[in-house]
Amino acid sequence: MPCPYGVVLYMKKILLYYHTLKYLKFKQIRYRAYYMLRARWRKLTKFKYNFNSDKKFTVNSLTLLPSIPNHTSFLSNNSFSFLNLEKTFDGKNRRDRSRPVPTVFTKIDWNFNEYGKLWTYNLTYFEYLNQQEISSEIGVQLIHDFIRKTDSIKDGLEPFPISLRIINWIKFLTNNNTQDAEIDKHLYIQSEILVDSLEYHLLGNHLLENGFALLFAAYYFSDEKFYNKAIAILQPELEEQILADGAHFELSPMYHCLMLYRVLDCINLLGRNTLHFQNARYLSEILQEKAALMLGWLHQMTFQNGDFPRLNDSTPDIAPTPHELFNYASRLNIEIEDIDLEESGYLKFYSTDYECIVDVGHIGPDYIPGHAHSDTFNFVVHAKGQPFIVDTGISTYENDENRHYERSTSAHNTVQIGDLEQSEVWSSFRVARRAKVTHLNETKSTIKATHNGYTRIGATHDREFVFSEKKIFIKDIISTKKNTQKRAFIHFHPNVKAILKDSVIETNLGKIQIVGSKNIKLASYMYAKGYNDRVEAQKIIITFEDDYLETQILL
pLDDT 10s digits, 115-142? 999 999 999 999 999 999 899 999 999 9
In angstroms, rounded to a whole number, what is the distance separating the alpha carbons of residues 373 and 412?
9
% of the chain exceeding 90 in pLDDT: 89
pLDDT of the residue at 107: 87
Q: What is the mean pLDDT of residues 362-380?
A: 96
- DSSP string covering 416-443: EETT--SS-EETTTEE-S---EEEEEE-
In angstroms, rounded to a whole number, what is the distance separating the alpha carbons of residues 348 and 354?
11
pLDDT of the residue at 367: 96
- Residue 104 pLDDT > 70, yes or no? no
In angstroms, rounded to a whole number, what is the distance separating the alpha carbons of residues 545 and 27?
46
| Confidence band for 76, pLDDT divided at 50, 70 and 90 | confident
Q: For the chain, give every domain's residue range.
A: 1-34, 198-339, 346-554
| Confidence band for 396, pLDDT divided at 50, 70 and 90 | very high
- Residue 92 pLDDT > 60, yes or no? no
pLDDT of the residue at 3: 61
pLDDT of the residue at 6: 67
Average pLDDT, the chain: 94
pLDDT of the residue at 98: 44
pLDDT of the residue at 96: 42
pTM greater than 0.75: yes
| Confidence band for 153, pLDDT divided at 50, 70 and 90 | very high
Amino acid at 9: L
pLDDT of the residue at 546: 87
Judge whether 250 and 209 are in contact, CB under 8 Å.
Answer: no
pLDDT of the residue at 54: 84
In angstroms, rounded to a whole number, what is the distance separating the alpha carbons of residues 300 and 247?
10
pLDDT of the residue at 99: 39
| Confidence band for 94, pLDDT divided at 50, 70 and 90 | very low
- What digits encode the pLDDT tens for the residues 446-456? 999 999 999 99
Amino acid at 26: F
Please give the CATH number for the structural domain made up of 346-554. 2.70.98.70
SS3 327: helix
Q: What is the mean pLDDT of residues 48-71?
A: 92
Amino acid at 49: Y
| Confidence band for 385, pLDDT divided at 50, 70 and 90 | very high
- Residue 225 pLDDT > 60, yes or no? yes
Torsion angle of C-alpha atoms 250, 253, 259, 264, degrees rounded to 10 = 150
Comparing 198-339 with 346-554, is the CATH topology the same? no
In angstroms, rounded to a whole number, what is the distance separating the alpha carbons of residues 555 and 552?
10
- Residue 332 pLDDT > 90, yes or no? yes
Judge whether 193 and 49 are in contact, CB under 8 Å.
Answer: yes
Closest CA to 222 of 277, 170, 171, 172: 277
- Residue 525 pLDDT > 80, yes or no? yes
Q: What is the mean pLDDT of residues 189-197?
A: 97
- Residue 101 pLDDT > 70, yes or no? no
CATH 3.40.605.10, domain 198-339, yes or no: no
Q: Is the pLDDT higher at 15 or at 331?
A: 331
| Confidence band for 483, pLDDT divided at 50, 70 and 90 | confident
